[in-house]
Amino acid sequence: MYKIVKKESLNPTVTLMEIEAPFVAAKAEPGQFIILRVNEEGERIPLTVAGYDRARGTVTIIFQIVGATTALLNQKNEGEYISDFVGPLGQKTKVEDLKKVCIVGGGVGCAIALPVARKLHELGCEVTSIIGFRSKDLLILEDEFRAVSDRLIVTTDDGSYARHGNVCMPLVEMFEAGERFDEVITIGPLIMMKFVVEAVRPTGIPCTVSMNPIMIDGTGMCGGCRLTLHRDGQRVTEFACVSGPDFNGYEVDFDEAMSRGAMYRDFERHAYEEACNLFSKEVR
């Protein structure tokens, strides 16, 4: 059993939890993920490590409430326990030998981008962060990004806060002004990452994306997290849980990934609504 030592609501649909898991905290690195179960009858869900404290033996996760399991997890409070918390899994983000990097995060993906930005900052890298949200109400982690960025640009799709527009707009403006980076790392919704990759492509700058497809076991056995990559003129299949979650953005077949990611959307919505109804009955 793993104790929840901190719980914080970042916005109406996103929650931060700090979990007491010393063995995971001892090895976790930015870019890796864990798989948890809320209880012994629950499903396994992957969540990217949003932070860790080796001294305290804790791991931070940030999740969006989109399905039955995340709704169930959000019902847990500080001092309570979850059943399983396995990791770290996947490959860490490669940050060595980088001197100037642009981090582009979107929505709850900013929770994954933040530890990468923090690690680069600690290594003395010049970090430019662009973080985007649909509206001001959904903004998260602005102060945390500002603390680890040499330059921070915040955008909102509806213009309700900071710069009006999407994350690609300031990125393209930088390139047009002659700005160059050793690498662009983008983490967020698939459609956002697809367009960021296309914005970077003309420059030839390496562009890394963080993929979070459907995943069950986290060891490569189930095959649910398979991705199609276009590499050296060939179609290559790799598993995000063992080879990723980071991939060369120029190689990823985003259209296929988006199609696969939408397969269970209706099922997730139905399960979420059932869970909410159950919680409502319990409260009454």
Residues whose CB is less than 8 angstroms from the CB of residue 190 and which lie 6 or more positions away in sequence, other chains included = 254, 257, 258, 261
Last residue of a domain, one of 210, 229, 255: 210
What are the tens digits of pLDDT across the range 194-250? 999 999 999 999 999 999 887 877 777 888 888 999 999 899 999 988 998 999 999
Range of the domain at 187: 100-210
Overall average pLDDT of the 105-132 stretch? 96
Q: Say if 223 falls within a structural domain.
A: no
Q: Say if 57 falls within a structural domain.
A: yes
Q: Say if 77 falls within a structural domain.
A: yes
Last residue of a domain, one of 210, 236, 258: 210
Within 13 Å and on the Cβ side, how many CA atoms surround 208? Answer: 21
Q: Does one domain contain both 50 and 75?
A: yes
What is the reported pTM? 0.89
Q: Does one domain contain both 85 and 21?
A: yes
**Chain centre distance of CA 56:** 23
**CATH number of the domain residue 104 falls in:** 3.40.50.80
How many domains are there within the chain?
2
pLDDT at 221: 80
Within 13 Å and on the Cβ side, how many CA atoms surround 131? Answer: 27
CA distance 227 to 238: 5
CA distance 59 to 241: 19
To the nearest whole number, what is the mean pLDDT of the chain?
91
Instruction: Say if CB 77 and CB 91 are below 8 A apart.
Output: no
Whether residue 269 is predicted with pLDDT greater than 80 in this model: the reply is no
Q: Does one domain contain both 105 and 203?
A: yes
Q: Does one domain contain both 6 and 33?
A: yes
Overall average pLDDT of the 148-163 stretch? 96
Overall average pLDDT of the 62-69 stretch? 90
Q: Does one domain contain both 192 and 106?
A: yes
**CATH number of the domain residue 78 falls in:** 2.40.30.10
pLDDT at 134: 95
Mean pLDDT check: name the lowest of 55-59, 169-173, 259-263: 259-263
Which amino acid is located at 241 in the chain?
A: C
Overall average pLDDT of the 241-260 stretch? 92
Q: Does one domain contain both 85 and 144?
A: no
CA distance 22 to 27: 9
pLDDT: which is higher, 86 or 263: 86
pLDDT at 102: 98
What are the tens digits of pLDDT across the range 162-187? 999 999 999 999 999 999 999 999 99
pLDDT at 276: 57
Mean pLDDT check: name the lowest of 39-48, 74-83, 110-119: 39-48
Q: Say if 187 falls within a structural domain.
A: yes
Last residue of a domain, one of 192, 210, 228: 210
